[in-house]
Amino acid sequence: MQTPQKIAVVGSGLVGTLLAIYLKRAGHTVHVYDRSPDIRTIQFSGRSINLVMSNRGWKALEDVGLDAEIRKIGIPVDKRAIHLQDGKLNYQFYGKEGEAIFSLSRGVLNRKMVDLAEAEGVKFFFEHKIWDVNLATASLYEGESEQGDWTELKYDKVFGADGAFSRIRHRMQRQSMFDYSQEFMQIGYKELHIPANADGSHKIDKNSLHIWPRGNFMLMALSNLDGSFTCTLFMPFKGENSFESLKDEAALAAFFAKYFPDTKEVIPDLVRDFFKNPTSYLAIMKCFPWTFEDKVALIGDSAHAIVPFYGHGMNAGFEDITILNELIHTYGDDWNAIFSEYEISRKPNADAIAELSRRNFEEMSNKTADSNFLLQKKIEKWFSDKHPDKWMPLYSRVTFSLQPYSEAMAIGDFQNEIMQEVLKIENIEKIWDSEQVENKILELLQ
């Protein structure tokens, strides 16, 4: 048990609210500040993205007994449904039978998390903008505007769960020996919508993550509980087949008719949504250190913002909380040790999931329609079923296991080298499940 502290969490997003629950359970007074209005009181706009939750996210919820409550608002997704341009549909299961990720509306989940945190006794201060922090004294500065008067709020500790453009990190960036990088992708995204059927049922399979892979761009769809799907179009900002090239209704209609013909029936408001919804940017942000003495710590996107192609930003943020909680139990009141080990153990894993996520754009938008890649996946699955102790595919390691991301990536790279050798075997497409191939993999694994 720790000595009770007065702790501020800046940010009432998914990571801030779950962290607040953990800290409250540990006996602390917990105040959460957010510049936005209470998410439970606002209408969702065209930006209410949905997310997938996998084992790392569930683990953090399970440890505080909240997983069952959250599963009620999710839909299990056990496979990819690949929509090829010629109209063919292929299914690729994610893992073993019974293994699934869960599709959740980010807005619905966030509302639920605020409710749950409030029920624990966490106090929320919405529409409170935090402009600065005194790192040495864990004091926050809150006010209406950056230039106006600020109120000083004194705490024992401050957690910056204030997302990719964190003000808390901003202050840390002005320290010497603080590393920071940000990289904007050339690819942006826009949300579209597949409404429910009149009877509330889903228009396409709700237990699949739908992908229309088209090389350097793709469309994706994930189911919502109300029978609708949130679609996301990822494509370059500039060039051929880019957001810039879809200037008017005629260009948009011709583009969708050519590349996504099977969506015509299911996205009735394509034109309205496309021109109304914003085109959003994607960026990778990295920094180090994540903490200042025993006073201030960054967590979630404020410490590591990644691109969404592995579906792990929130999962990684929730795993930060699991690790922090383990360290709280190990070190008790020694917050210096807690913070120091937290950042040292999490940083390589945050970097690894950032890299895996970047690489996964290529896998989703291009390779999922590539016959060599599909053969590789088939061989991996077959070998893994035969030798589960010797081979777990990378996707399963990242998504259905709790193995540190950095280890998963290193093993995945090694496995990929083996598979590139295996794919060179003559007639591999005919003999992919033969003893010869099995022995070759076993030999390469030595």
Ligand X SMILES: Cc1cc2nc3c(=O)[nH]c(=O)nc-3n(C[C@H](O)[C@H](O)[C@H](O)COP(=O)(O)OP(=O)(O)OC[C@H]3O[C@@H](n4cnc5c(N)ncnc54)[C@H](O)[C@@H]3O)c2cc1C
The residues of the shown chain that bind ligand X, judged by CB under 6 A, are: 10-16, 33-36, 49, 51-52, 129-130, 161-163, 167, 189, 232, 300-301, 308, 311-315, 317
* 129 or 347: CB nearest ligand X: 129
* 150 or 373: CB nearest ligand X: 150
CB of 360 to ligand X, least distance (A): 11
* 6 or 378: CB nearest ligand X: 6
* 162 or 419: CB nearest ligand X: 162
Round to whole Å and give the CA distance between 114 and 64.
15
Ramachandran angles phi, psi of 4, nearest 5°: -60, 140
* 55 or 384: CB nearest ligand X: 55
CB of 56 to ligand X, least distance (A): 8
| DSSP character at residue 310 | G
Which is it for strands 187-194 and 229-236: parallel, antiparallel or unpaired?
antiparallel
CB of 101 to ligand X, least distance (A): 8
CB of 203 to ligand X, least distance (A): 21
Q: Closest by alpha carbon to 135, among 165, 161, 168?
A: 168
* 3 state SS of 43: coil
* 351 or 432: CB nearest ligand X: 351
As to burial, measured by CB atoms within 10 angstroms (0-12 exposed, 13-18 middle, 19+ buried), residue 311 is: buried
Question: What's the number of CA atoms in the CB half-sphere (13 Å) around residue 74?
Answer: 24
Strand order in the sheet with 101-105: 50-53, 101-105, 75-77
Residues 6+ apart with CB under 8 A from 43: none
CB of 10 to ligand X, least distance (A): 5
CB of 357 to ligand X, least distance (A): 9
How many residues make up the chain in this entry?
A: 446
* 3 state SS of 397: helix
CB of 17 to ligand X, least distance (A): 8
* 159 or 383: CB nearest ligand X: 159
Round to whole Å and give the CA distance between 12 and 35.
9
